[in-house]
Amino acid sequence: MSDEQTATTGTRAGFVALIGEPNAGKSTLLNRMVGAKVSIVTHKVQTTRARIRGIAMEGASQIVFVDTPGLFRPRRRLDRAMVAAAWSGAADADVVVLLIEAHRGLTEGVRAIIESLNDRSGAAPVALAINKIDRVKAETLLALTQKLNDAYPFARTFLISAEKGHGVQDLRDWLAAEVPESPWLYPEDQIADLPMRMIAAEITREKLTLRLHQELPYQLTVETETWEERKDGSVRLDQVIYVMRDGHKGIVLGHKGETTKAVGLAARTELEEFLGRRVHLFLQVKVRPDWLNERERYSEMGLDFSDGDG
């Protein structure tokens, strides 16, 4: 589409980076905006590893969301690669949205993000979205809004509940007007640019995270090894769950394999709903003691291995 055509049709398109501390509600907001589950949502922190993009259509605007890993103080290679991915997502975006939790307020982590924003956001406007507003009183919210706007010149402030949907449409309308005039970047019916193999792996990893709680916080990863389209319209997926120790393998399998079976069933059910067709899912558990330091694993997660260099 030429610039002339763009002007005539009045289409807009651009990238919006959602940044914030772990667990601020970025994935929930992305899923609410896009209207489909494309980003893993759990109660655990640091669950979003790759820059998952979801696409929302609002009028003549196409808003491409970059859901970044939560910003925190990195300790390991994986942590450093995740934080680098988050800031890279913010640097490449047309608009940045800083999401913070109303009940946690201006934490030390939020202060650090605001300091970094001064150096990293470039010319992109930064909006503030205060999430989980139902958890605090109106006067607390007012004081917090003032304090945050004193700390950084936000283009706009939105008070929202990503979970319940309050205020989300206002934010969406503003973003639709903020993204630059441009032809659409993706086909209208596409909701995520992440390969389906990776989305499938994320869904299984979410089910594992929910099932195992504190037992294996970040020491496992899931990869979709094969994706086979069947003649009957169904799909066969073979996935590998990588763990770091033999003892972890036993935890993931569970007594007589019951944990893996339950995880497989939950993941398959969600995948069938997501894909709108039958799914045959086969899970294997393998021990790879050093997967956190393997370049290939990072590529599978959509992260840059070299970003983790200390």
Helix (H), strand (E) at residue 67: strand 61-67
What is the pLDDT, as a whole number, of residue 86? 55
**Residues 6 or more apart in contact with residue 280 via CB below 8 angstroms:** 230, 234, 235, 236, 237, 268
pLDDT of residue 132: 94
Structure confidence at residue 260 (pLDDT): 93
Q: Which two tokens stand for residue 130?
A: 């205060």
Q: Average pLDDT per run of 10 along the chain, which is 310 residues long?
A: 50 88 81 66 42 76 74 58 60 85 90 78 83 94 95 95 93 95 78 68 87 67 86 90 86 90 93 84 89 67 60
What's residue 130's pLDDT? 96
Give the pairing type, strands 52-58 and 157-159: unpaired
Task: Return the H-helix or E-strand segment holding 79.
Answer: helix 77-91
For residue 248, CA distances in Å to 83, 254, 263 come to 26, 10, 15
Instruction: Tokens for 63, please give them.
Output: 């808003």
Of 95, 97, 100, 90, the residue nearest 145 (C-alpha): 100
What is residue 181's predicted lDDT score, i.e. its pLDDT? Answer: 94
CA distance 277 to 200: 13
Measured between alpha carbons, how far is 4 from 122 in angstroms, rounded to an integer? 28
CA distances to 13, 36, 123, 220, 262 from 256, rounded to whole Å, are 51, 34, 56, 20, 12
Q: Given this model, what pLDDT does residue 61 score?
A: 92
**Distance of alpha carbon 67 from alpha carbon 156, whole angstroms:** 20
State the first-to-last Cα distance of the chain, in angstroms, to the nearest integer: 44
pLDDT of residue 81: 63
Q: Return the pLDDT at 43.
A: 41
Angle between helical axes of 108-120 and 138-151 (0-180°, round to 10): 40
Q: CA 217 → CA 74, 146, 193, distances in Å?
A: 15, 36, 27
Cβ atoms of 264 and 281 closer than 8 Å: yes
pLDDT at site 144: 95
pLDDT at 169: 93
